[in-house]
Chains A and B, each alone.
Chain A
Amino acid sequence: MRLSFIKPRPKHLISWELKVLLIFFTVIFTLLVLTFFYLRLEIYVFEDEANNAKVTTRQLHNARKKMEERIEYIKIEANRARLIYTDNKLLCESIKNLFDIIPDKITLTKAILAKDALILYGKTPSKEIYQFRLLAPLRSIFDRSFTSYYQKKNGWINFVSTNFIDSHKKQMKKEESNHE
């Protein structure tokens, strides 16, 4: 038995307009949430990368510092080595010069080269030859020269010549030469 003249229509809890709007809002909200999580992920990545970069920077800085120390060390060692080479050459020249100033008539029996001194033992036919031919050049080089003589039986004279360079004068001479 029919109780109504109209055909029954299905009843919905929410209308289709409301559904569309709900879907639209849900999509928008989902996008917002996704944006939020994307930003959080990027922040995490940036922080991680920045920390890694800072660690690398520190390591590079330490490595560079060590290399700079090595550079400095090598420079000083190389300079020292060159100085040693130069000193050896100078020493060679000094000894050459020493033997060059010894006149033929004078015979050396012993020579001691010290830091600021030179001691020569030798024999000379006469004091004059020694004084003019050897002592004069020695005096031009050294600040103080002392000589002791003793006569030999064969007429020759043995001598001991002690010559000093005063360190402070040497330093002054060096400074003067540096200024020049």
Chain B
Amino acid sequence: MNSLMRGRNLINILLLSLGFIILFFAFVAIFLIPTGKEYKKDHKNYMKAIYERDRAQDFHDDTMQNLKDLQTKNRAIILAYSNLFDPDAFARQYSRYFKRLKLTSVDAKEKDNIFDIYEVKATSDIKSPTDFYDFLNAVNKSENIISVEFPINFISDGPVIHSSFRLKVFSADFDKKVDVVDENQSRRDNKVSL
């Protein structure tokens, strides 16, 4: 009777072990192996994404540093572009070079996406051309980017010289996304050398 019991017990143990082994391999095959593969793939993707993010961060930081350096280097120019042109303040500031200086606003004929261009007509009485040279030199130190444009007229009238010329005041929005056009070359061609 006892041996019969032991035999049954042994059979139970064997059946249980067999069942477990089947369950074990089934679980591993159905769930663990595919999940492990997925884990491996996702881990690889994760590492790749992290690497790309770090690389993008490095590039971003380098570019930002370049931008900051450029902004620092060209601070005066950027400020000059950003400053609003005030004809009255300009006339007051530069009246010392002329006996009489009058600025008249002219409708901007040239307008593009990059610049708002203002033109002002200046008529002045100058005692000698030296004042005009000094004015041209001083214009470069102005709070705005100003270009003196052709034609320039000088008319002698006794002790004074009347002069008239045009000034172009350039402005640019550095926070605005723009299409870049290089018209430097064409500007350079517009100057006559004597």
Contacts and interface: CB of A to CB of B under 8 A. Distances in A.
B177 interface: yes
A114 interface: yes
A71 to B, nearest CB: 5
B53 A112 contact: no
Given A50-B42, A64-B59, A112-B151, A32 B49 contact: no
B187 interface: yes
Given A74-B71, A109-B155, A32 B28 contact: yes
Q: Which of B23, B57, B77 has the most CB of A within 10 A?
A: B77
Contacts of A21: 13, 16-17
A113 to B, nearest CB: 4
B80 interface: yes
Determine chain A's interface SS by DSSP, over half rule. helix
B178 interface: yes
A90 B191 contact: yes
A172 interface: no
B4 interface: no
A22 B9 CA distance: 13
A80 to B, nearest CB: 6
Interface string A92-107: 1011111101000001
Given A15-B9, A98-B194, A84 B187 contact: yes
Interface in A29-81: 29, 32-33, 35-36, 39-40, 42-43, 46-47, 49-51, 53-54, 56-57, 60-61, 63-64, 66-81
A64 B56 contact: yes
A118 B194 CA distance: 9
A95 B36 contact: no
A60 B9 contact: no
Chain A's interface size range is 35 or more
B49 A49 contact: yes
Given A40-B35, A87-B188, A88-B147, A99 B129 contact: yes
B70 A110 contact: no
Given A40-B35, A84-B145, A96-B133, A17 B9 contact: yes
A14 B63 contact: no
Nearest to B145: A81
A107 B155 CA distance: 11
A115 B188 CA distance: 11
Interface string B158-179: 0000000000001010100110
A70 B174 contact: yes
A171 interface: yes
Q: Nearest 9 A-B pairs (CB), nearest first?
A: A53-B49, A92-B136, A60-B56, A50-B49, A46-B46, A94-B194, A46-B42, A53-B53, A113-B152
Interface of A: 14-15, 17-18, 21-22, 25, 28-29, 32-33, 35-36, 39-40, 42-43, 46-47, 49-51, 53-54, 56-57, 60-61, 63-64, 66-85, 87-92, 94-99, 101, 107-118, 141, 165, 167, 170-171, 174
Given A61-B60, A107-B156, 11 more contacts: A29-B20, A67-B66, A68-B63, A69-B177, A72-B180, A80-B183, A81-B145, A88-B136, A88-B140, A90-B191, A141-B194
14 contacts: A14-B12, A17-B13, A36-B31, A36-B35, A40-B35, A43-B38, A49-B50, A50-B45, A53-B49, A57-B53, A60-B56, A78-B70, A84-B187, A91-B136
